[in-house]
Amino acid sequence: MEGWEHHPPSGTPQSVSFTGTASGTSLTGTLTVSGAPVQLTATIGKDGSVSGKLLNPDGSQYGVFWGRPNGSRSMQGSFDLNGRVGDWTVPLRVPVPKSQ
């Protein structure tokens, strides 16, 4: 079975986590997809929508994504990773300001 790769069918949930910061209309951070870190830069629209790029460690473009709020508690959208297209949904955890 050498050289065999598993490509999950579209719609298969993948483990994705994101850490980053939003400042004004820009969002930057690291998206971890199935254990592999990917740099992310995005623009936040006035309506709360996001669109951005996913970058390889060397700075080359890995893919693009876009999405919009789905109610007050989540966001949903789509991505295109070099031709691998899929949908994503993330719960929104609004950060609570820490009192000093």
Give the model confidence (pLDDT) of 18-68 as tens digits.
788 888 899 999 888 777 788 999 999 999 899 999 998 888 998 999 999
Strand partners, 93: none
Residue 49's alpha-carbon distances to 25, 26, 43, 54, in angstroms, are 10, 11, 8, 16
User: What type of residue sits at position 63?
Assistant: G
Q: Residue ranges per domain, the chain?
A: 16-91
- pLDDT for 3 beyond 50: no
pLDDT tens digits, 55-81? 988 889 989 999 998 888 888 999 888
CB 78 within 8 A of CB 85: yes
Tokens matching residue 45? 């629209």
Report the candidate in 57, 13, 15 with the shortest Cα–Cα distance to residue 32: 15
**Is the whole model's pTM more than 0.85, yes or no?**
no
Distance (Å, whole) CA 52 – CA 41: 6
